[in-house]
Structure 1
Amino acid sequence: MTEPPGGKGPDKGDARRDRWRSHREARREEFVQAALRALAEHGPDFGMEHVAAAAGVTKPVLYRHFTDKADLYVALGQRGTELLFERLIPALNNEEAPVPRIRRSLHAYFSVIEEHPNLYRLLIRRPFGRDVVAEDKELIGAALSRLLGDYLRALDMDSGAAEPWGHGIVGLVQNVSEWWLERRTMSRDAVVEYLTQIIWAAIDGIVRQHGMLLDPDQPIEVNKVVKLSSRRAP
């Protein structure tokens, strides 16, 4: 049977475009992984030649997929957010008792910082004019604020403190993580445990002021999850 003119041409063209788009996305991801390896070896001052060498290609091949170094930096920033949220979101949403939940979330955050220290150092420099770290802080702070507000209302408490509390926790953790990253005067387990106790002491103190007691090792009856997306607008 003869195929009608134009019967499947557009479909085949769309399929080819989709395959080419998928191929380019896969190659960009390969080069981002190579950039992470170059970062680990050469530090935040790595060059495109280091990325090309890590990927086993020439610089012209690299520039077919990234318009310039800033374009690669943006991709690294997006990958950094993905790495963080891939671990942080499940930890925050684990319906555990308060202290184990706090501890697990802190371990998730510090594990990414520990495994990719040069990526974090690069991103706080804002090399492409975009403050990825501040954007992630805002997302996490807003999500924690909503979570704390839900809990405060569930306990019949004033939820007005939820925002300063949520953003304050994020600021505390970031400042401590930057100090720890440069000093390393204690293990990751130790700094996580200190922070866990500090955060829990604040929560416990506020709750006690309202005449209530929470068991740090028992799940709260009304458990809440954190609504936090790992997708950031380009």
Structure 2
Amino acid sequence: MTTTSGNPEHPVADGRATRWHGHKARRRADVIDAAITVIEEHGDDVSVQQIADRLNLPRPVVYRHFDGRTDLDEQIRRQILDSLLAQIMPTLHPDGTVADAVRGAVGTYVRWVERHPNLHRFISGPVPQGDSSLAGARDQIGSRLADLFAIWLSRFGIDQGRARPMAFGIIGFVDGVVNSWRADSASTLASDQVEGILTESVLALFEGNARSLGVPLERDAVVGDLLARPEALRTE
């Protein structure tokens, strides 16, 4: 082992080992990217041989960089979910009106599913407990929405415990409609129609929940104002 001059107790990192780790990380990234491309082109039932063929590599080389097929599939799901969340999470910031925010979030998800049906099927399928899945993405989105609801409710002195059921009820509704639409091969609905139906339905849920709590809510209200100055919405 290479050491500092005259001091065997302080080893210097082997440059070859550092280069190998960098090479391994790049190869793992290449494999995951190739797998996603294969899924996009051929469907969610991807084989390791298809991934290897895409990279012009022997099949054992693909496995060399992962702890088996389960690990490979998990890393593929993680990258797909990271990409999806990177598009959806920015739409949950309090900019624009309530209608704008709902339309932006719903539209982003519907259009992503339409553009990437095979990726959607891949992350929607059953996975071992603890693995990444679409449920993990729903949890992150639902938690972000619940945080916004909690801030809004707290301004009115309303129990913040209502926030999570409201948020996850909406997330479950959107997910159910989208899954039903994609599973129905006879459906004649275009993505913009599904987006419109979902937007109106979610806005109706927002308004209905607000009425049940005695808090008026207009869909053209600015989200930032609702969070910062909710007293403006109180009934006289």
TM range (shorter): 0.7 to 0.9
1:132 aligns with 2:133: yes
Please list every run of 5 or more consecutive structure 1 residues that lacks an aligned counterpart in the other structure: 225-234
Counterparts of 1:6 and 1:181 in 2: how far apart (Å)? 65
Instruction: Note the aligned Cα RMSD (angstroms).
Output: 2.5
1:110 aligns with 2:110: yes
Question: Alignment partner of 1:33: what SS?
Answer: helix
Deviations 1:52-84 (A, max 9, x none): 112222212212112322221111111122012
CA contact (8 A) 2:74 2:132 kept: no
Aligned to 1:181: 182
1:204 aligns with 2:207: yes
CA 101–17 in structure 1, closer or farther in 2 if over 3 Å, else same: farther
CA contact (8 A) 2:31 2:51 kept: yes
CA 204–39 in structure 1, closer or farther in 2 if over 3 Å, else same: same
Aligned to 1:164: 165
- Number of positions where the alignment pairs a residue of Structure 1 with one of Structure 2: 220
Aligned AA (1:99) = A
Please list every run of 5 or more consecutive structure 2 residues that lacks an aligned counterpart in the other structure: 229-236
Question: Alignment partner of 2:107: what SS?
Answer: helix
Q: Which moved more, 1:16-25 or 1:192-201?
A: 16-25
Aligned AA (1:189) = D
Counterparts of 2:24 and 2:47 in 1: how far apart (Å)? 22
CA contact (8 A) 1:95 1:223 kept: no
1:51 aligns with 2:62: no
Residues 10-29 of structure 1: matches in 2 within 5 Å? Answer: 10-13=11-14, 16-29=16-29
Please state how far the C-alpha of 1:94 moved relative to its aligned partner: 5.0
Deviations 1:37-56 (A, max 9, x none): 11122212221111111222
Counterparts of 1:143 and 1:18 in 2: how far apart (Å)? 38
* TM-score normalised according to structure 1 size: 0.82
Aligned to 1:71: 71
CA contact (8 A) 1:83 1:112 kept: no
CA 174–210 in structure 1, closer or farther in 2 if over 3 Å, else same: closer
Please state how far the C-alpha of 1:166 moved relative to its aligned partner: 0.8
* TM-score normalised according to structure 2 size: 0.81
CA contact (8 A) 2:92 2:145 kept: no
Please state how far the C-alpha of 1:133 moved relative to its aligned partner: 2.1
Aligned AA (2:135) = A
Aligned to 1:89: 89
Counterparts of 1:25 and 1:110 in 2: how far apart (Å)? 33
Aligned to 1:146: 147
Counterparts of 1:105 and 1:16 in 2: how far apart (Å)? 47
Aligned to 1:35: 35
Aligned AA (1:140) = I
Question: Alignment partner of 1:121: what SS?
Answer: helix
Higher relative contact order (CA 8 A, sep 6+): 1
Aligned AA (1:186) = L
Counterparts of 1:169 and 1:18 in 2: how far apart (Å)? 47
Aligned to 1:62: 62
Deviations 1:144-202 (A, max 9, x none): 22221111222444433212111101111111111122235322222112111111112
Counterparts of 1:94 and 1:35 in 2: how far apart (Å)? 36
CA contact (8 A) 1:154 1:222 kept: no
CA contact (8 A) 2:102 2:199 kept: yes
CA contact (8 A) 2:85 2:137 kept: no
Counterparts of 1:101 and 1:11 in 2: how far apart (Å)? 53
Aligned AA (2:148) = L
